[in-house]
Amino acid sequence: MDKIEFKKMAERYNKELLENVLPFWLEKSQDKEYGGYFTCLNRDGSVFDTDKFVWLQGREVWMFSMLYNKFQKNEEWLECAKQGAEFLKKYGYTGNYDFYFSLTREGKPIVQPYNIFSNTFACMAFAQLAEATGSEEYADMAKKIFERILERRNNPKGQWSKGVPGTRPMKDFALPMIICNMALEVEKIIDDKELMDKTIKECLHEVLDVFYQPSLGAMVENVSSVDNSLVDCFEGREINPGHDLEALWFIENLGVRLGDKELVQKAVDISLRVIELGWDKEYGGIFYFLDSKGYPQQKLEWDQKLWWVHLESSIAMLKGYQLTGNEKCLEWFLKLDDYMWKHFKDQEYPEWFGYLNRRGEVLLPLKGGKWKGCFHVPRGLYQIGQMLEDLSK
Amino acid sequence: MDKIEFKKMAERYNKELLENVLPFWLEKSQDKEYGGYFTCLNRDGSVFDTDKFVWLQGREVWMFSMLYNKFQKNEEWLECAKQGAEFLKKYGYTGNYDFYFSLTREGKPIVQPYNIFSNTFACMAFAQLAEATGSEEYADMAKKIFERILERRNNPKGQWSKGVPGTRPMKDFALPMIICNMALEVEKIIDDKELMDKTIKECLHEVLDVFYQPSLGAMVENVSSVDNSLVDCFEGREINPGHDLEALWFIENLGVRLGDKELVQKAVDISLRVIELGWDKEYGGIFYFLDSKGYPQQKLEWDQKLWWVHLESSIAMLKGYQLTGNEKCLEWFLKLDDYMWKHFKDQEYPEWFGYLNRRGEVLLPLKGGKWKGCFHVPRGLYQIGQMLEDLSK
C-alpha cells in the first residue's frame, strides 16, 4: 500500500468515528435526568433497558476523556465524561472502593462488586479524567481504586468465588492483561515508580511466560495458580483469540514505552500465530472461543463473531505492521478491515453491530447492551485512524 | 393417525431407547475405577473430560432407577444406578445435605453447592433408588435432602447470591417447576401428606398464576419476589419456551394424579400458546430463549436448538393429545418428531446430538457434557414410547 492509500483509509476511519459513532453515543447514551449512560440501545439508538452496567459507565468516561486528552479539545466530550464520572462517584462504589457490577437508572446498586473489572475500568476512567480536568479529586479516586485492585488481585472474586478452596485453584488471564493496559493509563498519577515497574514486569511475565503456550500458539484463559501448569478442564482448555490479540497490542505499547524492541517483536510473532489459529477458514472472521485440545466447548457462543474481537485484532495487526514492517500483519489487517466494514458496520443506522453468528449474519440487532458500550468501536476507530495517518506520512 | 401407525411409532422410540441410547450410557459413562459417571463424551462416546457434574450424577441414578421401577427389572440398570448413588453418598454433599455442583473424577469437591438443583436431582435419585431397592438408607437420604430443599427454597442461592439485598429481589421459575416434578417423585417416602399437599398447591399457584403471563402466552423466567410483578430487566423479560413446556407436562401429570381435569385442560391450552410463540417459523425448531418485549437478548445462544427443549416439548404435546384428544397437540408432536429425528439423532453413532445452531446444524458434536447427560433423551424416548403404546391400544 502506498501513502495515498493509507491517507484515504485513515479518512474513512476518522470520519466514521467523528461523524457516525461519537455523535451516536453523545446523543443516545447520556441520561440527562439521572446522569450516567444508557447502554442498552436498539439498532436505531432508542433505549430498551435503563439499567446501568458499571464496566460500561467507566469505559464511556474513559473514552471521552481519552479522546479529549489525545485527539481534540472538544468541550462536549469533556462534559459527557464528567457527568458520567459524577454519577459513578455518587453511586458506583462501596466504602472500600469496590465498584458494583450494575445500578438502576437512579443509581441504586443491583449487583454486588463481585467482578474486579468494574474497578479496573473505573480506575482508568478517573485517571484519564484527572488528566483532562487537572482535578486532584479525580486523581485521588484513581489512586485509591488502583490500590484496591492490587489488594484484590490475588483473590479477585473474594466471597463470590464458587470454587472449593484447595481442590483446583486457578487464576485467569484477564487480570494481568488488564493490568498491562492499566499500567500505562495510571502511571502519571502513581508516585511509587518502583511499584509500577514491578507490577508491569510481573504482568508481562504472567501473560508471556505463564498464560502463553508456545506449543499451541495462543494463551489459555486459565492456569493453575499453584504452579502455573495447564489444567485439563473446560476453563483450563479455553482459548479466546480476541482476548489474546487485545493483550498483545497492550504489550506492544508497553514494549514501545520501555524501548524494548525484543518485547515488541515477540508480541508480534505471537499475534500472527494467534490470528492464524483463531480465523474461521470456512466463513471468515475470528472465533469467539476455542478449546486447546479441540474438544467440544462449554460456551455455546464459541463460533460467533463479536465486534470487539475484530476491532482489537485489527489494532494488533496494524500496530504489528507499524512497529515491525511485517507484511503479514498488513495482509491480516486488510482482511479484517474488509470483514468488519462488510459485516459489523450498519449501513442504515449509526454505530456498529456487536454480535454476528458464525456466517457473519446479525444475531442481535443491538448497538449497545450489557457488555457493548461506548468503547471498542470508538477506541478501535481512533487507534486505527491514528496509525493509518502515521503510515501515510 | 390409526392404531397401527401409533404402534409402529412406539416401536421406533422403544428400540432407540433400548438398543441405542441406554447401551451407550451403560457402556460409555460408568467410571469402573472411581465410581460415578463420566458425562463429557465425544460423538463416539469416548471421554473428553473426567469432571463429575452433580446434576448429571443424580439424573443418571434417577434414570436407571426409574426405568428399573417402571419399565423392566433389568439388574444391569439397577447396578448402574447403585454405583452412582454410592459415589454421590460418599463424595457428593456437605454436612447439611447440600450437594456440590461438581467433583473431580476421584470425588474431591470443585464447585460449591451454590446451585439448589444439585439437591433436587439428588433427592429424586435417592427416592427412586429407595423404591427400586427397598433400602431405608436411600429413603432416609431422599427425605433429608427434601427437607433441606424446602429450607433453602426462599433463598436458594444463599451466600453465593450476587444481588444487593433490597434493590430488585426476584425469584425464578425453575424452582417451583422442579418442585412440581419432585413432589410426585418423593410422595411415597414423605409421611407428612399435609406438607406435600401444601407444597404442591403452592407450586401450582406459582407456576400458573405468578410466572404464567396470559398476555404473553408464556411464563417469564423471573418475577419480583416482593409482589410477583413483572420486572423490566433482562432476567425479568426472559422466556424459555422449553422450560415452560417441561413444566406444563409436569402439571398435566399432577392434574391426572389429583383427578383435576380443569388443571389438565389449562396446562394443555397454555402449552399450545407457548409452542406457537417459541417455534422458529423460518428454520423450524424451538428457540432457546425469547424476550417478552422482543428486545435484544442477553443470552447469545438464544436462537440455538437444544435437545432437551425438543424432547420435553414432544412429551408435552403428545401428553396433551393423550389426555384431551386435541388434534393440534398431535400435529405439533408429529412436527417435533420429524424435526428431532432429522436433526438431533446421529445417524452414525449412538445417542443424540445436544446442541444445534438456528439452522439445525450441529454446533457441538458432543453426546454428553457439563449439562447433557443420561436424562432428557432416554426420559423422553421412554415417556413418548409409553404414550404411543397406550395410544395404539
B108 vs chain A: nearest CA distance in angstroms? 7
User: B52 — contact with chain A (CB < 8 Å)?
Assistant: no
By C-alpha distance, the chain A residue nearest B299 is A301
Q: Note the pLDDT of residue A85.
A: 98
What length is written for chain B? 393
pLDDT in tens, A274-331: 999 999 999 999 999 999 999 999 999 999 999 999 999 999 999 999 999 999 999 9
Helix (H, G, I), strand (E, B) or coil at A74: coil
Q: Note the pLDDT of residue B117.
A: 95
β pairing state of A355-356 and A305-306: antiparallel
CB neighbours of B391 closer than 8 A, spacing ≥ 6? B1, B3, B6, B10, B321, B322
Least confident range from A46-50, A87-91, A160-164: namely A160-164
Q: Which of A233, A237, A287, A353 to mutate to test the interface with B (most CBs of B within 10 A)?
A: A233
pLDDT in tens, A1-30: 899 999 999 999 999 999 999 999 999 999
- Of residues B179 and A270, more confidence is placed in A270
Identify the residue whose cell numbers are 432416554: B378
User: If pLDDT is split at 50, 70 and 90, which confidence band does B45 have?
Assistant: very high
One-letter identity of residue A71: F
Average pLDDT (A56-84) is 98
Measured between beta carbons, the chain B residues lying within 8 angstroms of A164 are: 100, 108-112
Q: Note the pLDDT of residue B229.
A: 97
User: A105 — contact with chain B (CB < 8 Å)?
Assistant: no
Question: What is the rounded distance in angstroms from the CA atom of residue A143 to the CA atom of residue B380?
Answer: 58
Least confident range from A352-356, A389-393, B155-159, B245-249: namely B155-159
CB neighbours of A267 closer than 8 A, spacing ≥ 6? A208, A248, A249, A251, A252, A255, A320
User: If pLDDT is split at 50, 70 and 90, which confidence band does B188 have?
Assistant: confident
Residue A70 and residue A389 in contact, taking contact as beta carbons nearer than 8 Å: no
Question: What is the rounded distance in angstroms from the CA atom of residue A20 to the CA atom of residue A16?
Answer: 5
User: B304 — contact with chain A (CB < 8 Å)?
Assistant: yes
Q: What is the largest CA-CA distance in chain B?
A: 59
Contact A163 B112 (CB under 8 A): yes
User: If pLDDT is split at 50, 70 and 90, which confidence band does A188 have?
Assistant: confident
Buried b (16+ CB within 10 A) or exposed e, A10-43: beebbebbbebbbebbbebbbbeebbbbbbbbbb
Question: What is the rounded distance in angstroms from the CA atom of residue B295 to the CA atom of residue B297?
Answer: 6
Least confident range from A147-151, B38-42, B359-363: namely A147-151
User: If pLDDT is split at 50, 70 and 90, which confidence band does B189 have?
Assistant: confident
Measured between beta carbons, the chain B residues lying within 8 angstroms of A373 are: none
Question: What is the rounded distance in angstroms from the CA atom of residue B156 to the CA atom of residue B20?
Answer: 37
Q: What is the CA radius of gyration of chain A?
A: 20
Average pLDDT (A229-257) is 97
- Of residues B175 and A315, more confidence is placed in A315
Query: Nearest Cα to A115, choosing from A51, A199, A175?
Result: A175
Question: What is the rounded distance in angstroms from the CA atom of residue B205 to the CA atom of residue B222?
Answer: 15
Cα B286 to its chain centre, rounded Å, is 16
Question: What is the rounded distance in angstroms from the CA atom of residue A208 to the CA atom of residue A349?
Answer: 40
Identify the residue whose cell numbers are 462488586: A113
User: If pLDDT is split at 50, 70 and 90, which confidence band does B147 have?
Assistant: very high
User: B42 — contact with chain A (CB < 8 Å)?
Assistant: yes
Per-residue pLDDT at A262 exceeds 90: yes
Query: Phi-psi category of B207—alpha, beta or left, where left has phi over 0 and alpha has psi -120 to 50?
Result: alpha
Per-residue pLDDT at B184 exceeds 90: no
Q: Note the pLDDT of residue B211.
A: 97
Contact A48 B159 (CB under 8 A): no
Per-residue pLDDT at A179 exceeds 90: no
Contact B159 A159 (CB under 8 A): yes
The shortest CB-CB distance from A162 to any of B51, B114, B234 is to: B114
Query: What sections of chain A are H helices per DSSP?
Result: 3-15, 22-28, 54-70, 75-91, 116-133, 136-152, 174-186, 193-205, 234-237, 241-258, 261-278, 307-324, 327-343, 376-391
Average pLDDT (B315-338) is 98
pTM to 2 decimal places: 0.97
Q: Note the pLDDT of residue B305.
A: 98
Q: Note the pLDDT of residue B146.
A: 94
User: If pLDDT is split at 50, 70 and 90, which confidence band does A41 have?
Assistant: very high
Helix (H, G, I), strand (E, B) or coil at B348: coil
Q: Which three cell numbers stand for residue A28?
A: 443516545
Measured between beta carbons, the chain B residues lying within 8 angstroms of A160 are: 160, 162
pLDDT in tens, A197-236: 898 999 999 999 999 999 999 999 999 999 999 999 999 9
Measured between beta carbons, the chain A residues lying within 8 angstroms of B369 are: 296, 298
- Within 10 angstroms of residue A86's Cβ, the number of other Cβ atoms is 13
Q: Note the pLDDT of residue B187.
A: 86
What length is written for chain A? 393
Measured between beta carbons, the chain A residues lying within 8 angstroms of B297 are: 364
User: B213 — contact with chain A (CB < 8 Å)?
Assistant: no
A 59-98 residues inside an 8 A Cβ radius of B: none
One-letter identity of residue A213: Q
What rounded mean pLDDT belongs to chain B?
96
Q: Note the pLDDT of residue B37.
A: 98
Do the interacting molecules here have an ipTM over 0.90?
Answer: yes
User: If pLDDT is split at 50, 70 and 90, which confidence band does B180 have?
Assistant: confident
One-letter identity of residue A87: F
Per-residue pLDDT at B1 exceeds 90: no
User: If pLDDT is split at 50, 70 and 90, which confidence band does A151 have?
Assistant: very high
Average pLDDT (B48-56) is 98
Q: Note the pLDDT of residue B181.
A: 86
A373 vs chain B: nearest CA distance in angstroms? 14
Percent of chain B with pLDDT over 70: 100
Question: What is the rounded distance in angstroms from the CA atom of residue A278 to the CA atom of residue A304?
Answer: 12
Residue B373 and residue B37 in contact, taking contact as beta carbons nearer than 8 Å: yes
